[in-house]
Amino acid sequence: MRKLLDAAAVEFGEKGFHAASISSITQRAAVALGTFYTYFDSKDALFQALVQDMSAQVKSSAAAGIAQLHDAGEPSALDVEQSALASFLAFASEHKEIYRIIDESEFVDPAAYKAHYESTAARILERLQAGADKGELRDDLEEAHAWAVMGMNVFLGLRYAVWAEGADESKVSQLARSILERGITK
C-alpha cells in the first residue's frame, strides 16, 4: 500500500486529481492493477487515503522535531512552535505536492480537507495551551490563535518550501518565532 500512496502523491501532485489515472499510479508504483484494487475501491478512495496519510506525515514530522527538543531538555513554548514550523518546512520542501493535494481535497473530499486543518489546529492549540499552563504564553489563547499560527505556517511553507529552492528553514522559523514572541507571550 505504501508504494501506491507514494506513487499517488507524485501523480496527483504533478497532474492533479482529475488528470491522474489509476493505471499511471500503478505504473509509477510498479505494481499490477489488481494490487490497486486489493487496497482501494476507486481513485477517490486512494485520494482520500492519501490526504489522511499526508496529514499524518505532517503530524509526525512536527512531532519528531519537537521530540528532539525534549531529548535535549525542557524546551520553551516558543522553541516548540519554532521546531514544529522548521520541521513542517523541511517536510514541505521534500514533498511540495502536499499543497496541491490538500488544496484539491477541498473539492474532491471536503471532509478530509476539513479534518486535516481541524486536527492541525487542535494540535497547535494544545501546544499553545501547554505554553500558557507553563506561564510562558498568554492565558487567553483560544482556537482562533491556533488557526492564525497555522495560517502563518501554511503560507510560510508555500512561499519558502514550495516556491523557493533552498530556503533556510531555520531563518524562516526564527522569523515566525519573533512574530509569536511579540504577539502571544506574556
- The CATH number covering residue 66 comes to 1.10.357.10
For residue 3, tell me if it sits in a domain.
Answer: no
Q: What is the pLDDT of residue 186?
A: 72
For residue 14, tell me if it sits in a domain.
Answer: no
For residue 38, tell me if it sits in a domain.
Answer: no
For residue 66, tell me if it sits in a domain.
Answer: yes
Cα 48 off chain centre by:
15
For residue 153, tell me if it sits in a domain.
Answer: yes
Query: At which residue does the C-alpha cell 485520494 appear?
Result: 47
In which domain, by residue range, is 92 found? 50-184
Cell of 109: 473530499
Q: What is the DSSP-derived secondary structure letter of residue 137?
A: B
Q: What are phi and psi of 58, to 5 degrees?
A: -60, -45
Q: What is the pLDDT of residue 135?
A: 96
For residue 58, tell me if it sits in a domain.
Answer: yes
pLDDT digits (tens, 9 = 90+) for 42-88: 999 999 999 999 999 999 999 999 999 888 889 999 999 999 999 99
For residue 94, tell me if it sits in a domain.
Answer: yes
For residue 147, tell me if it sits in a domain.
Answer: yes
Amino acid, res. 102: I
Q: What is the pLDDT of residue 119?
A: 96
Query: At which residue does the C-alpha cell 499517488 appear?
Result: 8
Q: What is the pLDDT of residue 165?
A: 80
Instruction: Using pLDDT thresholds of 50, 70 and 90, give the confidence band for residue 94.
Output: very high
Cell of 177: 518565532
57-79 as b/e: b if 16+ CB within 10 A: ebbebbeebbeebeeeeebebbb
Domains in the chain, number: 1
Cα 78 off chain centre by:
19
